[in-house]
Amino acid sequence: MADEPKKQTVTLEELVVSNLAMTDALAKLMIAKGVITDEEFKTQLGAERANYLAVTDYVWTLWCFLQIPRHKGSLESSWRFPRIFSTLQHRPVAGRAGNSAQ
């Protein structure tokens, strides 16, 4: 029982800062050791950022849509989440910085 670590509550801000510091340190270490180049890192980071923005924009739009009251049996109530979310990674968001929306 003495080996169990004390459970401590952390704030969301502390969790985000900790995650950011670990990610930053890992990226800098990989670049310094030559595992990846700075250019490769920036290219991948831009692609990931665009994907995350597309997902958050889509989820926000979907959440807003689901707030609209509907009658049972309407076309909208027959939507299925897996079909909607399976298209997320291929959906470009126009007008976002770092996004190559075509």
18 pLDDT exceeds 60?
A: yes
Distance CA 81, CA 60 (A): 14
pLDDT tens digits along 26-85: 999 999 999 999 999 999 999 999 998 888 888 888 887 777 665 555 555 455 544 455
Distance CA 48, CA 42 (A): 10
**Spans of all domains in the chain:** 12-90
- Report which of residues 95 and 55 the model is more confident about: 55
101 pLDDT exceeds 50?
A: no
